[in-house]
């Protein structure tokens, strides 16, 4: 396996994965930890922060707002954030560029909706195509003045915040990002902000903020109540990313002779539902919970290869990020797998219905794209030249498919992994080298 200077990864398939691995920190928890630390009074210390450009964008944005974000003095690779509360955030002097990071953009719109400043937020070509009305409309309902491209349906967005008044807001989509944006606004609004989702979404924000003593109450699995206030400063070792784990879990499940243990990973139930899907397909997976950090269960995921069979996947928001690699598992399973109710796939970093259809087809897999998902007929995928479409999760899903396929494959546009997991190829190679 080699990643050349033209950012193409070459992989020879059918090598089993063996051994143990600890993963870089969870991206979702890392973004939130940085923002919450900035709002606390005092210095917070974060280790195992997610690497990659996405979380780097959140660090840089906070620095633009006047927050001190720096490396700790020791050699533990800790990041120290000197928070001084909402009022200490200053008006940004320049446009905030969120790159490819939807989480950075949506969280910041919510944060800045509460500040009496003018802020301008944008991102790369992919992010500027992604839907923003879902976050803009409920923030406008609290009193924020937000404008932008396509009546603020897309970035660039301008936010003139401050003077928010809490009320009940019904979100139009279940989204961890949108919910968190509304929580950040609600923490700055007068009165009570009640946030109601059409279905549950990932719950890192509420777990962490409750653990940090912020005035947030979980009414039920779709409803939060937030009052004015802030979290306390904290120390956190970010658990490994469960969505990154999914790539190794699927690789080990489909390649005969594999046996791996992923340690120190977040096993938040809303983030590991993909394990249940894989178990339903016949995968041999065991989860052992070893502790909890800021309300997040942490543990180990052990996987051994086993023959898989097709299934029906009714997607919920909670497993949308893992659907590309679940489609890869389906390509190696016996029979058909139908992914339904997953129209959100089309508005991620790429249109993942189209991009997974194209990449799996190159391996000779029969795939039918649908408006809300895919049908994949499993078989014996053959090595091929694939491409990332500039989407980190498509790049890593393609690499997993290449690991299971016969012969040699390439993944072009490999540099896309830099947004969430720059060391993925090296970690994969290490597990393949322990056979």
CA atoms within 13 A on the CB side of 394: 26
Q: How far is the CB of 320 from ligand S3P (least distance, A)?
A: 5
Q: By CB under 6 A, is residue 317 in contact with ligand S3P?
A: yes
Q: How far is the CB of 186 from ligand S3P (least distance, A)?
A: 16
What torsion do the CA atoms of 31, 36, 41, 44 make, to the nearest 10 degrees?
A: -40
Name every residue whose Cβ is closer than 8 Å to that of residue 172 and which is 6 or more positions away in sequence. Answer: 133, 134, 137, 198
Give yes or no for a cis peptide into 156 (omega within 30° of 0): yes
The three-class DSSP label of residue 371 is coil
**Token reading at 410:** 């390439």
| Partners of residue 170 on adjacent β-strands | 196
Question: In this structure, are residues 81 and 41 in contact, taking their beta carbons and an 8 Å threshold?
Answer: no
Which positions from 180 to 219 touch ligand S3P by CB under 6 A, shown as an x/- string? x---------------------x-----------------
Name the residue nearer to ligand S3P (CB basis): 202 or 362: 202
Q: By CB under 6 A, is residue 104 in contact with ligand S3P?
A: no
Q: Could you give the angle at the alpha carbon of 267 between the alpha carbons of 263 and 272, nearest 5°?
A: 115
Q: How far is the CB of 56 from ligand S3P (least distance, A)?
A: 15
- Taking the CB of residue 415, how many other CB atoms lie within 10 A of it? 17
Q: By CB under 6 A, is residue 126 in contact with ligand S3P?
A: no
Q: By CB under 6 A, is residue 321 in contact with ligand S3P?
A: yes
Q: Which stretch binds ligand S3P (CB under 6 A): 55-63, 246-254, 313-321, 374-382?
A: 313-321
Q: By CB under 6 A, is residue 177 in contact with ligand S3P?
A: yes
Please pick, from the candidates 24, 28, 110, 143, the single residue that binds ligand S3P as defined by CB under 6 A: 28
Q: Could you give the angle at the alpha carbon of 165 between the alpha carbons of 171 and 203, nearest 5°?
A: 40
Q: How far is the CB of 350 from ligand S3P (least distance, A)?
A: 13
Q: By CB under 6 A, is residue 58 in contact with ligand S3P?
A: no
Q: Which stretch binds ligand S3P (CB under 6 A): 75-83, 115-123, 177-185, 291-299?
A: 177-185
Name the residue nearer to ligand S3P (CB basis): 103 or 409: 103
Name the residue nearer to ligand S3P (CB basis): 239 or 378: 239
Q: By CB under 6 A, is residue 320 in contact with ligand S3P?
A: yes
Q: How many Å apart are CA 157 and CA 136, to the nearest integer?
A: 9
Please pick, from the candidates 58, 103, 188, 410, the single residue that binds ligand S3P as defined by CB under 6 A: 103
Residue 86 DSSP code: G
Q: By CB under 6 A, is residue 268 in contact with ligand S3P?
A: no
Q: How far is the CB of 379 from ligand S3P (least distance, A)?
A: 29
Name the residue nearer to ligand S3P (CB basis): 136 or 365: 136
Question: In this structure, are residues 196 and 225 in contact, taking their beta carbons and an 8 Å threshold?
Answer: no
Residues in the chain: 435
Q: How many Å apart are CA 204 and CA 218, to the nearest integer?
A: 12
Name the residue nearer to ligand S3P (CB basis): 255 or 272: 272
- Taking the CB of residue 76, how many other CB atoms lie within 10 A of it? 12
Name the residue nearer to ligand S3P (CB basis): 8 or 391: 391
Name the residue nearer to ligand S3P (CB basis): 323 or 384: 323
What torsion do the CA atoms of 49, 50, 55, 56 make, to the nearest 10 degrees?
A: 70
Q: How far is the CB of 108 from ligand S3P (least distance, A)?
A: 13
Q: By CB under 6 A, is residue 175 in contact with ligand S3P?
A: yes
| Partners of residue 377 on adjacent β-strands | 336, 366
Name the residue nearer to ligand S3P (CB basis): 29 or 405: 29
Q: How many Å apart are CA 175 and CA 77, to the nearest integer?
A: 31
Q: How far is the CB of 236 from ligand S3P (least distance, A)?
A: 16
Q: Which stretch binds ligand S3P (CB under 6 A): 85-93, 139-147, 163-171, 176-184?
A: 176-184
Of 60, 24, 8, 10, the residue nearest 422 (C-alpha)? 24
Catalytic residues: 321
**Biggest CA-to-CA distance, the chain:** 62
Q: By CB under 6 A, is residue 8 in contact with ligand S3P?
A: no
Residue 225: its H or E element: strand 223-226
Q: How far is the CB of 163 from ligand S3P (least distance, A)?
A: 26
Residue in the shown chain whose Cβ atom is closest to ligand S3P: 176
Q: By CB under 6 A, is residue 392 in contact with ligand S3P?
A: no
Beta strands (DSSP E) in 95-205 are 96-97, 118-122, 145-148, 154-160, 168-170, 193-196
- Interface positions with ligand S3P (CB under 6 A): 28, 103, 175-178, 180, 202, 317, 320-321
């Amino acid at each position: 396996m080699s990643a050349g200077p033209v950012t193409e990864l070459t992989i020879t398939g059918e090598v089993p994965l063996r051994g143990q691995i600890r993963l870089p920190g969870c991206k979702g928890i890392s973004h939130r930890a940085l923002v919450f630390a900035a709002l606390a009074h005092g210095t917070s210390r974060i280790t195992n922060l997610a690497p990659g450009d996405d979380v780097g964008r959140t660090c840089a944005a906070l620095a633009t707002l006047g927050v001190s974000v720096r490396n700790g003095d020791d050699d533990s690779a800790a990041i120290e954030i000197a928070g001084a509360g909402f009022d200490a955030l200053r008006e940004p002097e320049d446009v905030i560029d969120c790159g490819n990071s939807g989480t950075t953009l949506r969280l910041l719109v919510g944060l800045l909706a509460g500040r009496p400043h003018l802020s301008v937020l944008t991102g790369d070509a992919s992010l500027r195509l992604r839907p923003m009305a879902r976050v803009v409309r409920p923030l406008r309902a609290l009193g924020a003045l937000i404008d932008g491209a396509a009546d603020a349906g897309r970035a660039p967005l301008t936010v003139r915040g401050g003077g928010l008044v809490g009320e009940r807001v019904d979100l139009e989509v279940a989204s961890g990002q949108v919910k968190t944006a509304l929580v950040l606004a609600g923490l700055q609004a007068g009165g009570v902000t009640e946030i109601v989702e059409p279905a549950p979404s990932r719950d890192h924000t509420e777990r962490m903020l409750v653990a940090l003593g912020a005035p947030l109450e979980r009414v039920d699995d779709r409803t939060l109540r937030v009052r004015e206030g802030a979290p306390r400063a904290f120390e956190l070792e970010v658990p490994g990313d469960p969505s990154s784990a999914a790539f190794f879990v699927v690789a080990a499940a489909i390649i005969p002779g594999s046996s791996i243990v992923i340690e120190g990973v977040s096993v938040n139930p809303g983030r590991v539902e993909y394990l249940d899907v894989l178990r339903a397909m016949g995968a041999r997976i065991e989860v052992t919970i070893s502790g909890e950090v800021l309300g997040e269960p942490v543990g180990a995921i052990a996987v051994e290869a086993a023959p898989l069979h097709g299934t029906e996947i009714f997607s919920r928001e909670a497993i949308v990020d893992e659907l590309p690699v679940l489609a890869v598992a389906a390509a190696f399973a016996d029979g058909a797998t139908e992914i339904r109710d997953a129209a959100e796939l089309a508005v991620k970093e790429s249109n993942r219905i189209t991009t997974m259809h194209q990449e799996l087809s190159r391996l000779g897999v029969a795939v039918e794209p649908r408006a809300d998902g895919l049908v994949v007929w499993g078989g014996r995928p053959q090595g091929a030249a694939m491409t990332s479409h500039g989407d980190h999760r498509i790049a890593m899903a393609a690499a997993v498919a290449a690991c299971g396929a016969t012969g040699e494959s390439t993944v072009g546009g490999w540099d896309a992994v830099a947004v969430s997991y720059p060391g993925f190829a090296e970690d994969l190679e290490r597990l393949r080298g322990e056979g």
